[in-house]
Chain A
Amino acid sequence: MRQVTLTVNGRRRSAEVEDRDLLVDMLREKLRLTGTHIGCDTSQCGACTVLLNGAAVKSCSLFAAQAEGAKVTTIEGLAKGDTLHPIQQAFHEEHGLQCGFCTPGMVMLLHEFLRRNPDPTEHEVRTALSGNMCRCTGYQNIVASALHAARTLRSEG
């Protein structure tokens, strides 16, 4: 066992983990941040996407020990109190979720993507989402949510 310390959603958090524990295991099992979901567990579906030092990564595909000292942002870190993050608000308004299982990963991926590309085309959104799968096939509204969020974020400057 080893101690891993991360800054998660702005707070320093430590946990004892095995070397083979994945980052997603540490977040869910040790830190009880269960908003990050495990979908396929094979790096394909993107439900486990979190930000690692600002970059979207699949937390099922790195070991917690590799993240030692890193800043991690999970879906729990986006809302400010009762005020949803503009990306979350856009998913709410555009009905961007059906069962909701893929939603945390979609939101975290878009968080990085919209910072890189604040005014994307629909095609660019669809390409960016290629590593995130929605088994309800609710992509139309997810793309609408992304474009809606982009507009809000641009207007907020």
Chain B
Amino acid sequence: MIPAAFTYHAPRTLRDAVRLLRAYEGDARVVSGGMSLIPAMKLRLVQPEHLIDIGRLGELDYVRRTEDGRVAIGAGATYRSIEKSRTVAAVAPMLVETVRQVGDLQVRNRGTLCGSAAHADPAADAPAALLALDATLHTAGGPSRRSIQARRFFVDAYETVLGPTEVLTEIRIPKQPARTGSTYLKFANKASRFAIVGVAAAITVDRKGVCTRARIAVTGAGPCAVRATASERYLTRRKVSPEAIAAAASRASRDMEFIEDVHGSEEYREHLTGVITQRALAEAARRAGA
């Protein structure tokens, strides 16, 4: 399959990348690993006139700990470098667990976390983890540099709050509170490994086993990844038990919008959302020591 013709640009700095993005506003796409964008271009679902490659910028290829104890992941960092990172394993083990479930080895060698977030595929794994980990997404190229909370970032299928000249440069993830257990669990499409429904859960408990903080996010079920706030509210300040988890999970689909496709009906996805949320919460609770 041959993509529509375009001009390829390999800027040497982020500044140059932004300059190109502004010069070709509306006609350009940013590529890093290209694991979502290039297949879409080959199918001609996306036909940019200009392709701006930030995947070769050394300045964006990093995974590091920030002074305030967060982990910062640059737009050039592949899933593979996140899988290998001791910093990520220490600060946000759920992210490593999530990344290991993305695609296959070859895809993880090239694909990037920032790319997945910016592409916002409804069935991608990363958005759920970013929501449940309270990530912030940092941009350049707009009227000013922005840092956007994950829960404000994803808008709709393949749609984020990024403007036409903005590029996602970095994702930051805070250290989880003590006594937090987290996991990412998905019911995957057997062929593509994309999530039919995927749930990221992080729950914090006190010494008595009472949940003090819950973050639950669902991907694959609807047009974009969302927080299951009704479940979070139910669980918070309750003692964690199988009954409380079941009751919280039964609330996961409240206020949620479901999609229907060849892989499953709306009803099927709604059912799976409850089941996978329940399993993810049980595992997160176990890891939290509740």
Which of A's residues lie within 8 Å of B, judged by CB?
A: 2, 18-20, 41-44, 46, 49, 52, 55-58, 61-63, 65-66, 68, 109, 112-113, 128, 130-132
Residue contact A43 to B107, C-beta cutoff 8 Å: yes
Residues of B within 8 A of A43 (CB): 35, 38-39, 107
Distance between A110 CB and nearest chain B CB, rounded to angstroms: 10
A23 vs B4: C-alpha distance in the bound complex, in angstroms?
Answer: 16
B5 touches A131 (CB 8 A): no
- Docked CA distance A116–B187 (Å): 28
Q: Which residues of B contact A63 (CB under 8 A)?
A: 8, 34, 38, 51
State how many angstroms separate the Cβ of B83 from the closest Cβ of chain A: 11
Does the CB pair B109–A20 fall under 8 Å? no
Give the interface centre of B8, B55, B106 by most chain A CB atoms within 10 Å: B106
B93 at the interface (CB under 8 A from A): no
Partner of B109, one of A18, A41, A57, A68: A57
Which of A2, A55, A62, A132 has a CB less than 8 Å from the CB of B80? A55
Residues of chain A within 8 A of B53, CB atoms compared: 65-66
Residues of B within 8 A of A (CB): 1-8, 10, 31, 34-35, 38-39, 42, 51, 53, 55-56, 80, 103-107, 109-110, 191-193
7 A–B pairs (Cβ distance < 8 Å), ordered by A:
A19-B6, A42-B1, A42-B39, A44-B191, A55-B109, A58-B107, A65-B8
- Chain A interface, >50% SS class: mixed
A127 to chain B, nearest CB (A): 9
Known: A19-B6, A46-B104, A62-B34. 10 other contacts (CB 8 A): A20-B3, A42-B39, A43-B39, A46-B106, A61-B39, A63-B8, A63-B51, A65-B8, A109-B106, A131-B106
What's the nearest-Cβ distance from chain B to residue A117, in Å?
Answer: 11
Verify A131–B104 contact, CB threshold 8 A: yes
Q: In whole angstroms, how far apart are the Cα atoms of A76 and B131 in the complex?
A: 45
A112 CB → nearest B CB, Å = 7
> Chain B residues near A112 (CB, 8 Å)?
105, 109
Chain B residues within an 8 Å CB radius of A132: 104
CA gap between A121 and B192 in the complex, in Å: 24
Q: Once the chains are docked, how many angstroms separate the CA of A66 from the CA of B110?
A: 11
B114 CB → nearest A CB, Å: 17
Evaluate contact between A130 and B193: CB separation under 8 angstroms: yes
Q: How far is the CB of A121 from chain B (nearest CB, A)?
A: 16
Most buried by A among B7, B10, B56, B110: B110
Chain A hits for B34, CB < 8 A: 61-63, 66
Q: Known: A55-B80, A63-B8. Is A131-B39 also a contact (CB below 8 A)?
A: no
A-B pairs with the 4 shortest C-beta distances? A131-B104, A19-B8, A55-B109, A65-B8
Q: Which residue of A has the minimal Cβ distance to B110?
A: A57
Complex interface: chain A residues within 8 A of B191 (CB): 44
Of chain B, the residue at the smallest CB distance from A128 is B105
| Residue of B with least CB distance to A61 | B38
B105's partner among A41, A44, A61, A131 (CB-CB below 8 A) is A131
Assembly CA distance A42 to B35 (angstroms): 10
Return B31 CB to nearest CB of chain A, in Å.
8
* CB nearest to B33 among chain A residues: A62
- Distance, CA A18 to CA B5, complexed state (A): 8
Contact flag A20-B104 (CB < 8 Å), given A42-B39, A61-B110, A66-B34: no
Contacts of A41 in B (CB 8 A): 1, 42
